[in-house]
Structure 1
């Protein structure tokens, strides 16, 4: 039996139409060795009412509500500050997961000496149409250089997302890793590259266990000059981290 605990951080902002499905998919997990921290970023719809009703029913669900809207990075950081699981993963409040999502992460961490575990995902439209196809399961254990290339790659099953990955909490805390609050885009890619710079081995699995729903109102689907600026800043942070990591590795040789 797996004895490690996973803390799931779910961020939410005005997702009243979707968050019940997201939480229900967590409730349906086959492995119960986890807790759920829901961080509401000052929603103005019924999101807070819904998540509080779940917290009243389940003692393993905790709710934190921001007094004002700070953005997803701050919401994730709030979740990190309140997480006590040995491992960490993230779910967006308008997505959902397969029943063996938790089991997958905890089983691999139990069997393998690795610092990150990934899973595959379905990229779906709001009508349920899957835009990416799963063909054949592929599993590999790679080092820092290889995983960094896959994190910054704009295609594939790894990429810069946080919701298809699980992390070791002690690594995050030891190196004081946080999400960049000055970015509205690619903040997750920056976090992943910084995490990879302090980790050794990465277990990559493309088995799709996460359902990412691409919505028209999503910030990633809107184009603005601010987004162009965020992409530029994020890329600079990413390449700075890679450069410093490479320099540190050479010093250790």
Structure 2
């Protein structure tokens, strides 16, 4: 199983060497490390050439134009040849057993197309960033992504996937839309092209919080204009990939089937698929049969109490809405009379 690590770098002269060294010092050796420098304005390129230009496992891709993170993913993937592709941001680190754990997981789970793990945040803050409490088979998520923008993944440096998955959507042309946070392209793209995803509940990656992260910790910069532009970029990406895959407009009809690929769905996942079915254009009887399908699967996988809680919350909301309408009715009549 040949394995490639893609490192994307822009102006991380103080960190990029450590990132590369963290890969070279793995307990299980990788086959190649592709380092893409996105025309950094600091000394990154000089450092990379001096330290790694002659290294047999390190391939440098020094771009002559700054085009953003997605462009680096595109260039790195084109330059790679691994069957498994791992991603690493230049300011993060792999723990020494990361690659060994990833290889073992793919070997033991041949059905796994896309794997992400927990991360140990260090630097300006210290914590374990986990997505779930336990290792999970998350099934398929193309319908949940297309209709509800479900984001089934984690930070760039925690992500790996099989080459055949990436071949279905990289390179992507929307480079200007994704100069930063292009890990969304990896997460959304893998889901839409039909990757079966798994989560490994081990903090095998060290995520550096240093105040200059391009996206993490930059909430103050997320203006309404930025959020609107981001929404447009996501819509454009999802539409492009759906067309590329030639998906029909009524893919929602298979939502109940996709839901059942999740062995032990949680409440959030149940709510997503219930909403897709509820808001679909299916006839009432077809909706009911699909509701029944996801209810049975959810309950049979230990979700009975969760389902009861969901329905009680739904009933409470309905009662509150009804009470609010009753409260407003006399006021409305009074205003009309006046």
TM-score, normalising length from structure 1?
0.82
* Secondary structure in 1 matching 2:189: helix
Aligned to 2:221: 223
Aligned to 1:9: 6
Aligned to 2:174: 180
* Secondary structure in 1 matching 2:167: helix
1:7 touches 1:87 (CA, 8 Å); kept in 2? Answer: yes
1:16-165 equivalent positions in 2, closer than 5 A: 16-113=13-110, 114-126=112-124, 129-132=125-128, 138-145=134-141, 152=150, 159-165=153-159
| Aligned: 1:236 with 2:231 | no
Deviation of residue 142 (structure 1)? 2.1
Structure having the larger proportion of residues in helix: 2
Greater shift, 108-117 or 211-220, is seen at 211-220
CA deviation string 1:86-128 (max 9, x = no partner): 01111111111101111121111111121111111022334xx
Separation in 2 of the partners of 1:207 and 1:56? Answer: 33
Among 195, 207, 216, the alignment partner of 2:202 is 207
Q: How many residues are matched?
A: 244
Task: Determine which structure has more spread, i.e. the larger CA radius of gyration.
Answer: 2
* Secondary structure in 2 matching 1:81: helix
| Aligned: 1:197 with 2:192 | yes
Q: 1:159 to 1:176 in 2, by over 3 A?
A: closer
* Secondary structure in 2 matching 1:219: coil
Greater shift, 21-30 or 192-201, is seen at 192-201
Q: 1:249 to 1:98 in 2, by over 3 A?
A: same
Separation in 2 of the partners of 1:144 and 1:135? Answer: 17
Q: Structure 2: which 5+ runs fail to align?
A: 258-338
Separation in 2 of the partners of 1:102 and 1:179? Answer: 30
Among 161, 171, 194, the alignment partner of 1:167 is 161
Q: Which structure has the higher relative contact order (CA within 8 Å, separation 6+)?
A: 1
Deviation of residue 141 (structure 1)? 1.3
Separation in 2 of the partners of 1:176 and 1:45? Answer: 28
Q: 1:56 to 1:188 in 2, by over 3 A?
A: closer
The CA RMSD over aligned residues, in Å, is: 3.2
Separation in 2 of the partners of 1:125 and 1:246? Answer: 46
1:184 touches 1:230 (CA, 8 Å); kept in 2? Answer: no
Separation in 2 of the partners of 1:136 and 1:217? Answer: 27
